[in-house]
Chains A and B, each alone.
Chain A
Amino acid sequence: MTSNRFLKPLAQVSLLVLLFASLVGCGQAKTSSSSITVVVPEEPPSFNAVISDTGYDALVMHMTLLGMTGIDPQGNIYPVLATELPTQDNGDLVVDEQAGTMDVTWKMRKDVVWADGKPVTADDVLFTYEAVKDPTNGFAIPGLDLVTGVDKIDDYTFRVHFSAIYPAYLTFLGGRQIVIWPKHYCKPEQGYTNWDCGRNPLSDGPYTLKEWVTGDHLTFVRNPKYFEPGKPKIDQIIVRVVPDASVRETMMRQGDADLLMWATEQVASDLKNVSNVKLSISPTSRWVMRLFINLAAKGATDPEAQPNPFFGDVRVRQAIRAAIDVDKITSSVWYGYAQPVWTEFFRPPYNTCNIPRPKYDLEAAKALLDQAGWVAGSDGIRVCKGCQYAQEGDRFKFELLTYSEYGDPLIQTQQLIGEMLKAVGIQADLTQAQGSVIWADAASGGIEQSGNFNMDLYDDGYAGIDPSYFLSYYYSSAAAEPDQGWNVVRFKNAEFDSLLDQANTLNQQDRQTAFCQMAQLLDQQLPQILLFTTLNAEAYSTRLANIEANLNSVVSWNVADWALAK
């Protein structure tokens, strides 16, 4: 205790010395020039993009593992492990029209090896399929329920048997989410969703995982056994976890990060004029901001027995659409980076339906509301007088719900929409809930599944180029039952259901026709009001070249081509 007297000045001096030494002496070691840093807000839960699909898992998965096919930014599917795409022309796709089944034969490349030298063969494909199929530890990937079996023909050929016509057969074992796993390395008893090799993979892709400091970063180094000669060009990629958005942005400005994945509108707007940063922007995006309108009354799930007092009437829905000034929202809150969208079929190749863009027209909105029996009340809020489903005298007041973890732009959009509705006499009370509450199953109190809402707002959309899976579980009648799908708007339309069946064909013409009819139907019925797509952009340093945003996959889809700019 007597030494206390010296403690304070000693402490002060040593602190100063430490500070000085650290600031001046041991600065950041300069990493080799062929090393880049990617910053992400959260850690990838694993290398298996199927289980959680956060996007960051897909990022690291595509750096290390390969699937049968991939999808490029324009929506074209290209072979990766396959030598060529199986089609009816080259005889690898055989359709039995009578029975309604099809067989797909895949031929694999012979020059791909795992990082330990063993070849990638059909055995690995079968192994992956068995693991995926396991009812306890597998996962219900799209199309799995239609597959009756996968047979090995020889070491580099296998055949998949489908019990129905499945137009998306090309991405059944590839695309954005599925890759082939090594049979000799992964332990099947651990299960597809749990296995250790999902966190410490054996690579056949451009990079191998060198180290993973959980919560902090992952380091990848180039795989010398990668099958494409001369690739990858960059020796080392570090994926760093930085939760705070403004810190990530600052790191890009300072040059401490080379790639910021999924730049938000805010970040894109902030960085677009920074000289050492470039943006790669997809022409459209997967996610479309939309209003989900519960056609059943709040708390109910049957729109016929208990129609929604406000929104059961299609004129009201049309009025709401006319009252929203989408351009005002996109140009302000989204920094001009959002694009108005008004139909599900807005991306190639199915974007030729020519649905006219809805007009922002306050007067028309008011007229429609008057027609629907909602007349202006004394305080500016409309009151039911002869409306179709509500009680006489009820005010047009309801809660507009949105998802709280998205961030400012969504909350602000909600605010603006609330104001726009107010301008036509509709009182929308704004409220937010957490994602884990909105999208939980009905038994856990999930707001949407139990129908416990009137209208909610956020973005959603289908991945890849094929909307049919999405359409069926968002709009088909079967999906309107709680926990049977995501038709939380309870849209039960027999015509739509039959169009869905019609679209289930390999004939592109027929598909296109069916889709366009669906587009018309949805445009008239408006179970959801589509507003705009949000941005799909990657911000990258001018040090880099060949970074290309890919809304059908993830930015590392072409990681083997990334290079340092000359």
Chain B
Amino acid sequence: MGQFILRRLLQAVGIMFLLSVLFFALVNLAPGGPLAGYGGARRLPPEQVAMLKRQLGLDKPLPVQYMVWLVGNDWMKVGTSAAVGGTGYGTRRGILRGDFGFSFQTRQPVLTVINDRLPNTIYLMAVTLLVALGLAIPAGILSAVKQYSFFDISVTTFSFAGQAIPDFWLGLILIIVFYAWLKNPLSGDSLLPSGGILTIGAPFSVGDAVRHLILPVATGALGWIAWYSRFLRSSMLDVIHQDYLRTARAKGLSERLVIYKHALRNALIPLVTLFALDLPYIFSGAVFVETIFAWPGMGRLYYQAALQRDYPILMAVLIIGAALIILSNLLADILYAVLDPRIRYS
């Protein structure tokens, strides 16, 4: 097993390197550049364009730019003037030394920008996934156990519907209903806030945080609930009809024990691995939910960066996203092996 993990990690390094080249090519191939969308002025005077190109390092040829991104330029002379305390060498250390560069738009270090947004995304996505699982697992189990009952049919219908509703549309409708139309009977304000994480300026309260979470989580969780409950249901159904359960029943075990001890454990295995595969979404977040509910997260950051061609941010998010996917795949495979004794990796 250890050898397997090691091999996969080595492969991962190779894949990451190739991906970084691919991403760099994609990001730079996209026609247009960051200087065009620069703020409201849109069209900058040529001397400002030339200056910006130099400052952002865009005047160097692409392979050099890739190198700077990878290993930095503090060993290269880039000519900052001593008059303002410059040393003549560049200041970037490259991604291999943990420097992800700085955003073209705000000039802040990319890691700082990401660090500001990441907790918000993790917070929202973690709550969303937990709520989704908390509702999906019981629903899936019961609907498998009571197959074709009214409960099962409604859950199945609901999950089909849930997978068919686009989340951006749902978000807009929820805001209209709960923010614009419905009012809190006690205070006369809107029933639920329109967005943001907390009420600004108000002292922190759990209730406030919950109120702000309800709509975004509802919008984001719907798809997960639908998907997981269906998956668990079919997984449970596969397992429930297996022979070894029939044997267990024949041996006299109570139905409840049969289901919850034997069937569920085996049915959950694929679910766990599926969940591990969905973990990267905690990082990249949901672009739509964050945009509609004014949630300052990673998804929205990426979308804005794509429109503005903010290359360093795009590269950072892509690379980190890919790394997380690779790691979560590995995690899923490991979990599967741990949980299912029939699987062994050489």
| A contact set with B: CB distance below 8 Å | 1-2, 4-5, 7-8, 11, 18-19, 21-29, 31, 35, 37, 42, 45-46, 51-55, 57, 130-131, 134-140, 142, 145, 188-189, 191, 193-194, 198-199, 213-217, 219, 236, 238, 240-244, 246-247, 250-251, 253-254, 256, 405, 434-441, 444-446, 460, 469, 473, 479, 483-486
A28-B202, A140-B47, A213-B296 known; A436 and B81 CB under 8 Å? Answer: no
Once the chains bind, are B307 and A436 in contact (CB under 8 Å)?
yes
B317 CB–A CB distance under 8 Å: no
Task: Tell me the complex Cα distance, A97–B206, Å.
Answer: 71
Candidates A4, A57, A217, A435; contact of B42 at CB < 8 Å = A435
Q: Which residues of A contact B32 (CB under 8 A)?
A: 434-440, 444-446
Task: Tell me the complex Cα distance, A566–B102, Å.
Answer: 47
Q: Which residues of B contact A193 (CB under 8 A)?
A: 55, 107
Stretch in contact with the other chain, from B5-13, B182-190, B233-241: B182-190
Instruction: State how many angstroms separate the Cβ of B183 from the closest Cβ of chain A.
Output: 10
The winner among A434, A436, A483 for most chain B CB atoms within 10 A is: A436
Task: Tell me the complex Cα distance, A247–B195, Å.
Answer: 9
Q: Which residues of B contact A194 (CB under 8 A)?
A: 102, 107
Candidates B172, B187, B260; contact of A4 at CB < 8 Å = B260
1/0 contact string of B295-316 vs chain A (CB within 8 Å): 0110011001001110000000
A2-B261, A435-B42 given; name 6 further pairs at CB < 8 Å: A27-B189, A29-B208, A136-B84, A140-B45, A213-B296, A250-B194
Once the chains bind, are B186 and A24 in contact (CB under 8 Å)?
yes
B166 CB–A CB distance under 8 Å: no
Task: Tell me the complex Cα distance, A365–B32, Å.
Answer: 36
Task: Tell me the complex Cα distance, A243–B291, Å.
Answer: 6
| B contact set with A: CB distance below 8 Å | 31-43, 45-49, 51, 53-55, 78-81, 83-86, 102, 105-108, 113, 116-117, 120, 134-135, 138, 141-142, 172, 175, 179-180, 184, 186-187, 189-191, 193-197, 199-203, 205-208, 210-211, 214, 256, 260-261, 264-265, 291-292, 294, 296-297, 300-301, 304, 307-309
Q: Which residues of B contact A23 (CB under 8 A)?
A: 184, 191, 211
Instruction: State how many angstroms separate the Cβ of B292 from the closest Cβ of chain A.
Output: 5
Q: Which residues of A contact B256 (CB under 8 A)?
A: 5
Q: Which residues of A contact B80 (CB under 8 A)?
A: 136-137, 191
Q: Which residues of B contact A7 (CB under 8 A)?
A: 134, 138
Task: Tell me the complex Cα distance, A140–B282, Å.
Answer: 42
Q: Which residues of B contact A191 (CB under 8 A)?
A: 80, 84
Task: Tell me the complex Cα distance, A223–B201, Å.
Answer: 18
Once the chains bind, are B81 and A446 in contact (CB under 8 Å)?
no
Instruction: State how many angstroms separate the Cβ of B166 from the closest Cβ of chain A.
Output: 15
Once the chains bind, are B51 and A138 in contact (CB under 8 Å)?
yes
Q: Which residues of A contact B41 (CB under 8 A)?
A: 53
Once the chains bind, are A1 and B186 in contact (CB under 8 Å)?
no
Instruction: State how many angstroms separate the Cβ of B9 from the closest Cβ of chain A.
Output: 33
21 contacts between A and B (CB under 8 A): A5-B260, A8-B138, A8-B142, A28-B199, A52-B40, A54-B40, A55-B40, A131-B84, A139-B51, A217-B200, A242-B196, A244-B195, A247-B179, A247-B195, A434-B37, A436-B33, A439-B32, A439-B36, A440-B33, A440-B35, A473-B45
Q: Which residues of A contact B81 (CB under 8 A)?
A: 134-136
Once the chains bind, are B84 and A242 in contact (CB under 8 Å)?
no
Instruction: State how many angstroms separate the Cβ of B257 from the closest Cβ of chain A.
Output: 8
Task: Tell me the complex Cα distance, A438–B37, Å.
Answer: 9
Q: Which residues of B contact A134 (CB under 8 A)?
A: 81, 83-84
